[in-house]
């Protein structure tokens, strides 16, 4: 077992922590825009769809054990086309990192540090990322594991909302129609992004292949359920008319709670949330640096780390208005849907049709 | 100091001398006979003109043959030489002199034929005896007793438990450990480092428990040390630790034999030194530094409570000033309504930013600490009163520092000294400065990023190949038993997993009577 390999449990936490990220704060709002109070159904649909994507990812990686997506692409598409797709995927992962940086910057600038220049806020995240990704997936997974209990604090804080809930707010169910619910589920998919890093991390996982699938789908399921809990809680806490005007419903909800020892719980929530954002960012940055390593045929991904971080940092400081970030969000979300959600299924189809698979693996 | 300087000459001159000597020895059998004086001058040559190298020549009672005693006066026990060597020589009966003399020499002394060893034997407090037979000489260890009594180490006192501690003698230190671990499996390897100082290090491990990979790694690192002088265990520690640029101690230093013995039985490796009461234990993890012998002599609930208090103190000592700075300079809104007026009134008249206040007070505390270490206890307490009470009170009254900051700094200082390991306490005290600066520039965000980087640093730190932050990272639930809490003795039935010991299970059925 090489020192880079990770166990099933570590894979679980890698995927779990990558999936939980920026989306937590704005998910209820972005779902509400299209699907109204049926947003939670969209979320569940997205969760189910992700399970299919994961199945495809797992199947694909299973055909090429110990290979990352960047090794697999040239194998199934031939070298020149594989190189082009490697480039596209690297860019794709880098742009998800950038989107995370931009959204994180937006929230931090709005809620915690009002006067700090944006580039400073982005810089500190981007270069903390460099320190993290110059390690191995195993060490990252260890870190992701020990910060996971912090999520319990987040959930505990949200649980406090149950002292003041109105069950009737989420009714009637299904009022907006099936088409709206399905259209909204694409927004939910974006918040659930993070499962796609499995394309790289599966290569490092040792152990039974069937168990890997179980771990992947369980990680994704847990995240979907946690999000469902958050979405349903906020829908029951806020009046449907209120949600439209609060883009970060979770924070507004927590802002209302005050305890005798602490006044603004939302700041505590945000501090812990930053760790969750960082884990997502780190995962994507790692994957992107792996891509850069393959593109430039570097010996170690460590040497690519500062450059990819610098790239993300420079791009992420460009958008400085809320509307700009929203447009970015829209486009990157679309490409993510394409490359993370749908592309694995097509890649698997290509691999099956062209009968490409690594020697020694059982054909299925 | 002269003692340290002298061996330098030995190195420069020893090599050619020995070659000559061998030449002399082989020659003398064939050609003319070398006298005892020739041999003596050859052996003495590297020492130059040191005055404490004493040669004592006596003539045997019966015949004309001479005996020469050679020793370094300052490091041998003269009475021992007298009673063990010189007196028996004179007690030899006058009849068959040669026979009884040989008998005596072989019984009491060690016959040496390797003349190259003569100098190092002399330096190790041996008395050498040369006879007319120049092909060999005799040696007897006659070290002078210069050790202090075995006392409890001042820096690691405990309430209940054994009160003995290591001293500056390797053999006594080893005895203290052997006394506790009466098992043939306890293996001791002597290693020498320092080309000139010839410092002896004893490497200890329990043969059927410790992971041999770690043992080999420790031995390899020590053997690779090439230095003229190795004075202190600190030199060794710096030479063999994994990440010299980390803030965290990666080797446990202790003066307590019970702590070393317990760690050995857990599967760790210890280094015990001559001339230093400090022993090193490795590979250790972060939580080893928070274990105290006291925990095991208390009732387990109380022991667990204090263990967790200690771990909690890590966060207080490191983070409390930072959190305070972040709150008062960035996040005033976190403070509940009742407190806000109180804090505001305390802070209002302070002319400079909280970071400066905090740095001022933290540095003052470090000054007081550093000053009181070197002073005798009687003056030390005066310093504590002047430093702590007078400065603390006056500084607030003068309006330089706020009341609250004094409270924060005081709690932080106390928390930093709760750690049973001095090295870890120092690491925590240093770490709070970057945290304070991060908090002053970015508020909570800075603290969070500081914590993330710190945690990740701990996650990727290895000592001799064992993960440093075990059992948290990698997460091993079963190893929490003796890390964050201290479960009862009868429940500790496994050795820590991160040490990858040869025997993971511990036979700990101490409450069998309860089952029936």
The number of folded domains in chain A is: 1
Q: Could you tell me if B115 and B137 are in contact, meaning their C-beta atoms sit under 8 angstroms apart?
A: yes
Q: Where are the domains of chain B?
A: 2-141, 154-284, 297-467
Q: How many other CB atoms are there within 10 angstroms of residue A215's CB atom?
A: 25
**Is the CB of B54 inside 8 Å of chain A's CB atoms?**
no
Which residue range(s) make up the domain with A257? 8-353
Distance CA B90, CA B79 (A): 15
Note the pLDDT tens digit of each residue in A328-356: 888 888 888 888 888 888 888 888 888 77
Among A121, A124, A267, the residue with its CB nearest the CB of B334 is A267
Contact status, residue A212 vs residue A220, Cβ threshold 8 Å: no
Query: What's the token pair of residue A234?
Result: 């906020």
Q: Note whether B475 contacts A: Cβ–Cβ < 8 A.
A: yes
- B187 φ/ψ angles, rounded to the nearest 5 degrees: -105, 135
Q: Look up residue B330 and give its DSSP letter.
A: T
Under 8 Å CB-to-CB from B110, ≥6 apart: which residues? B138, B139, B140
Residues for chain A: how many in total? Answer: 364
DSSP string, B33-64: PPPHHHHHHHHHGGGTT-TTEEEEEEE-SSSS
Total count of residues recorded for chain B: 516
Q: Is the pLDDT of residue A239 over 70?
A: yes
Plot region of B164 (φ>0 → left; ψ -120 to 50 → alpha; else → beta):
beta
Count of alpha carbons within 13 angstroms of residue A218, beta-carbon side:
13
Instruction: Pick B444's closest partner by Cβ from A112, A121, A145.
Output: A112
Contact B169, B200 (CB under 8 A): no
pLDDT tops 70 at residue A313: yes
Determine contact: A362 vs chain B, CB below 8 A. Answer: no
Flag whether pLDDT at A286 surpasses 50.
Answer: yes
Residue B444: which of A139, A263, A271 has the nearest Cβ? Answer: A271
Query: Does the distance separating the beta carbons of A146 and B473 come in below 8 Å?
Result: yes
pLDDT, average across residues A94-123: 89
pLDDT at A277: 93
What's chain A's average pLDDT?
A: 86
Contact B282, B251 (CB under 8 A): yes
- Can the peptide bond before residue B157 be classed as cis, meaning omega within 30 degrees of 0? no
Among residues 212-251 of chain A, which lie with CB inside 8 Å of chain B?
Answer: none
Establish if A1 belongs to a structural domain. Answer: no
Contact B474 A142 (CB under 8 A): yes
Residue B259 C-alpha, separation from nearest chain A C-alpha, in angstroms: 29
Cβ neighbours for A95, distance < 8 A, ≥ 6 positions apart: A315, A332, A335
Q: How far is CA B157 from CA A268, B164, B451, in A?
A: 39, 10, 32
Question: pLDDT-based confidence at A166, cuts 50/70/90?
Answer: confident
pLDDT in tens, A50-78: 898 899 988 888 888 888 888 888 888 88
What is the 8-class DSSP label of residue B494?
A: B
In a domain, A360, yes or no: no
Number of other CB atoms surrounding residue A44 within 10 Å: 18
Chain A interface mutation, best of B456, B469, B470, B497, highest count of A Cβ atoms under 10 Å: B456
Q: How many CB atoms lie within 10 A of CB B64?
A: 7
**Closest CA relative to residue B314, chosen from B411, B425, B422:** B425
Contact at CB, B452 and A263, closer than 8 angstroms: no
CATH number where A198 lies: 1.20.1740.10
Whether residue B17 is preceded by a cis peptide bond, meaning omega within 30 degrees of 0, is no
- Chain A: closest CA distance from residue B483 (Å): 15
Contact assessment for residue A243 and residue A231, using Cβ atoms and an 8 Å cutoff:
no
CB contact under 8 A, B334 and A262: yes
Phi, psi of A231 (to 5 degrees): -65, -50
pLDDT tens column, A183-219: 788 888 888 888 888 889 988 888 888 888 999 999 9
Neighbours of A168 (CB within 10 A): 8
Nearest to B445 among A112, A145, A268 (CB): A112
pLDDT value for B180: 92
Looking at residue A260, what is its pLDDT? 76
The answer to whether residue A282 sits within a structural domain is yes
List CB contacts (< 8 A) between B453 and chain A. Answer: 128, 131
**Which residue would you say has higher pLDDT here, A175 or A121?**
A121
- Per-residue confidence of chain B (516 residues) as pLDDT tens digits? 444 444 444 444 444 444 444 444 444 444 456 777 888 888 888 887 888 888 888 776 666 677 788 888 888 888 888 887 777 777 765 666 667 677 777 777 777 778 788 888 888 888 888 877 777 788 888 888 878 888 888 888 888 888 899 998 888 999 999 999 999 999 999 998 888 888 889 999 999 899 999 999 999 999 998 888 888 888 899 999 999 999 999 999 999 999 999 999 989 999 999 888 999 998 998 998 998 888 888 889 998 999 999 999 999 999 999 999 999 988 888 888 888 888 888 888 888 888 998 998 888 888 888 888 888 877 777 877 777 788 888 888 888 888 888 899 989 989 988 888 888 999 999 999 999 999 999 889 999 999 999 999 999 999 998 899 988 878 888 888 888 888 888 888 888 888 888 888 877 788 888 876
Which two three-digit tokens encode residue A67?
Answer: 């290979």
Tokens standing for B149? Answer: 């009594």
ipTM of model: 0.92
Q: Is A263 on the interface with B (CB under 8 A)?
A: yes
Mutate which of A267, A269, A279, A302 to disrupt the B interface (most B C-beta within 10 Å)? A267
């Amino acid at each position: 077992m090489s020192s880079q390999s990770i166990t099933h449990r570590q894979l679980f936490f890698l995927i779990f922590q990558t999936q939980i990220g920026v989306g937590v704060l704005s998910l209820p709002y972005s779902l509400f825009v299209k699907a109204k109070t049926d947003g939670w159904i969209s979320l569940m649909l997205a969760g189910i769809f992700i399970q299919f994507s994961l199945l495809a990812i797992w199947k694909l990686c299973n055909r090429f054990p110990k290979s990352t997506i960047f090794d697999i692409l040239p194998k199934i598409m031939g070298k020149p086309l594989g190189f082009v797709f490697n480039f596209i995927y690297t860019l794709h992962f880098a742009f998800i990192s950038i989107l995370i940086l931009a959204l994180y910057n937006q929230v931090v600038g709005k809620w915690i540090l009002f006067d700090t220049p944006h580039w400073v806020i982005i810089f500190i995240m981007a270069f903390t990322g460099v320190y993290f990704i110059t390690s191995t997936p195993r060490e990252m997974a260890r870190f992701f594991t020990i910060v996971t209990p912090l999520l319990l604090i987040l959930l505990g804080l949200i649980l406090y909302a149950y002292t003041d809930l109105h069950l009737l707010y989420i009714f009637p169910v299904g009022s907006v129609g099936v088409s709206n619910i399905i259209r909204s589920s694409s927004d939910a998919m974006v918040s659930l992004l993070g499962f796609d890093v499995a394309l790289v991390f599966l290569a490092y996982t040792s152990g039974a292949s069937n168990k890997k699938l179980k771990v992947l789908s369980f990680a994704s399921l847990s995240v979907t359920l946690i999000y469902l809990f958050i979405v349903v809680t906020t829908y029951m806490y806020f009046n449907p008319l209120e949600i439209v005007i609060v883009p970060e419903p979770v924070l507004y909800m927590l802002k209302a709670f005050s305890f005798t020892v602490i006044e603004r719980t939302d700041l505590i929530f945000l501090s812990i949330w930053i760790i969750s954002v960082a884990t997502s960012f780190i995962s994507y940055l790692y994957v992107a640096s792996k891509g850069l390593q393959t593109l430039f045929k570097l010996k170690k991904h460590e040497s690519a780390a500062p450059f990819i971080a610098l790239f993300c940092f420079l791009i992420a400081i460009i958008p400085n208005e809320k509307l700009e970030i929203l447009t970015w969000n829209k486009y990157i979300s679309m490409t993510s849907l394409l490359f993370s959600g749908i592309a694995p299924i097509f890649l698997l189809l290509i691999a099956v049709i062209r009968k490409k698979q690594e020697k020694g693996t059982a054909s299925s | 100091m002269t003692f340290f300087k002298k061996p330098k000459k030995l190195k420069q001159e020893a090599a050619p001398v020995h070659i000559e000597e061998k030449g002399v020895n082989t020659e003398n059998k064939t050609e003319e006979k070398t006298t005892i004086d020739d041999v003596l001058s050859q052996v003495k040559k590297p020492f130059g003109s040191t005055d404490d190298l004493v040669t004592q020549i006596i003539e045997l009672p019966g015949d004309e043959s001479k005996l020469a005693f050679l020793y370094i006066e300052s490091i041998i026990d003269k009475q021992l030489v007298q009673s063990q060597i010189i007196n028996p020589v004179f007690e030899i009966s006058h009849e068959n002199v040669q026979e009884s003399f040989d008998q005596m020499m072989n019984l009491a002394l060690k016959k040496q034929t390797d003349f190259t060893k003569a100098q190092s034997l002399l330096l190790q407090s041996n008395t050498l005896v040369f006879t007319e037979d120049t092909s060999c000489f005799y040696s007897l260890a006659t070290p002078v007793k210069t050790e202090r009594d075995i006392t409890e180490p001042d820096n690691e006192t405990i309430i209940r438990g054994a009160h003995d501690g290591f001293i500056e003698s390797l053999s006594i230190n080893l005895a203290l450990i052997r006394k506790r671990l009466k098992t043939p499996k306890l293996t001791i390897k002597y290693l020498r480092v320092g080309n000139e100082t010839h410092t002896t290090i004893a490497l200890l491990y329990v043969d059927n428990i410790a992971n041999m990979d770690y043992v080999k790694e420790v031995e390899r690192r020590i053997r690779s040390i090439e230095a003229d002088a190795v004075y202190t265990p600190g030199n060794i520690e710096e030479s063999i630790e994994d990440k010299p640029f980390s803030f965290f101690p990666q080797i446990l230093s202790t003066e307590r034999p019970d702590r070393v013995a317990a760690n050995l039985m857990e599967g760790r490796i210890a280094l015990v030194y001559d001339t230093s009461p400090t022993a090193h234990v490795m590979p250790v993890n972060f939580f080893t530094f928070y274990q105290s012998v006291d925990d095991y002599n208390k009732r387990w609930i109380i022991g667990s409570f204090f263990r967790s208090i200690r771990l909690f103190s890590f966060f207080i000592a490191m983070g409390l000033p930072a959190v305070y700075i972040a709150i008062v300079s960035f996040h005033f809104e976190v403070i509940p309504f009742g407190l806000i007026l109180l804090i505001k009134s305390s802070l209002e008249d302070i002319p400079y930013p909280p970071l400066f206040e905090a740095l001022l007070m933290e540095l003052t505390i470090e000054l007081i600490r550093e000053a009181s270490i070197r002073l005798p206890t009687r003056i030390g307490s005066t310093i504590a009163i002047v430093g702590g009470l007078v400065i603390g009170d006056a500084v607030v009254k003068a309006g330089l520092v706020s009341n609250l900051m004094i409270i924060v700094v005081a709690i932080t200082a106390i928390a930093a000294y709760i750690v049973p390991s001095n090295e870890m306490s120092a690491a925590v005290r240093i770490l709070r400065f970057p945290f304070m600066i991060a908090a002053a520039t970015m508020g909570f965000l800075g603290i969070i990023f500081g914590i993330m980087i710190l945690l990740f640093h701990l996650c990727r730190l290895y000592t001799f190949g064992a993960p440093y932050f075990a059992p948290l990272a990698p997460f091993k639930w079963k190893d929490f038993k003796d890390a964050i809490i201290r479960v009862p003795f009868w429940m500790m039935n496994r050795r820590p997993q991160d040490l990858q010991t040869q025997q993971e299970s511990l036979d700990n059925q101490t409450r069998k009577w309860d089952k029936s």
